[in-house]
Amino acid sequence: MSLTAANSAARNARRTIALLASLLALAFTVFLVYAAFRPPPSGFDGVWLRAGGESWMPEQMELRVRGNVMDETLPSASEYVSFHMIADGREHSWTDPDAQNDAPARVYTAQLTTDSFTLAIRSLEADSGGAVHRERWSLLNGGKELAILSQDGQTLYRRASWLHRMLTHAP
């Protein structure tokens, strides 16, 4: 190989390394901008597994909080069902994704703090007398556990491990 060919190969190698370094720096900058401007995660965010309590409560749920909105995703028979709850203390129409068209009309109010979520669902049916279902969700043990207390009982959830989240199908 001639000296000119060796110099050309070395120059191409340096250019390739410089291009890769520039791309890596660009990717790192994009990541930093994304991390700086996305909202901080809530203590409620994540996948929760039922550890005890009421057997009729879902075995698993995923929660996402953005601002004053909580999204709850539950596994259903063959798909996932999501509830979208605005936690601003005002009444909102309650929409049950599994409900039929003849489902009773209901409204809800919700409040969210850093470590608790309260929900009250009120029936608008005349024969119900305005019955209210209340729940209080509380983060315990530094956010590792979630207790849901209602007039029907108490259920304890534990945060799913990263391994569980990676190995199971989630919405």
- Taking only the tens place, the pLDDT of each residue in 77-95 is 778 888 899 999 999 998 7
3-state secondary structure of 59: coil
Q: CB burial class (10 A; 0-12, 13-18, 19+) of residue 38?
A: exposed
Of 3.30.70.1150, 2.40.128.20, 3.60.20.40, 3.40.800.20, the CATH number of 46-167 is 2.40.128.20
Q: What are phi and psi of 168, to 5 degrees?
A: -120, 155
> Cα 113–118–120 angle (5° rounding)?
150
Q: How confident is the model at residue 70 (pLDDT cuts 50, 70, 90)?
A: very high
Please give the share of the chain, as a percent, with pLDDT higher than 70. Answer: 84
Residue 166 clears pLDDT 70, i.e. is over it:
no
Q: What are phi and psi of 104, to 5 degrees?
A: -65, 145
- Tokens 């909202």, located at residue: 39
Buried-state track 149-167, b at ≥16 Cβ within 10 A, e below 16: beeeeebbbebbeeeeeee
Residue 125 clears pLDDT 90, i.e. is over it:
no
Query: Does the model's pTM come out above 0.85?
Result: no
CA distance 72 to 83: 5
Most confident stretch, 7-11, 22-26, 72-76, 146-150: 146-150
Name the least confident of 49-58, 122-131, 152-161, 162-171.
162-171
Q: Are strands 116-123 and 145-150 parallel, antiparallel or unpaired?
A: unpaired
Q: What are phi and psi of 135, to 5 degrees?
A: -135, 145
- Per domain, the residue ranges of the chain are 1-38, 46-167
Q: Tokens in use for 88?
A: 């601003």
Work out whether the CA dihedral 75, 79, 80, 82 comes out positive or negative.
Answer: negative
Across the chain, mean pLDDT equals 84
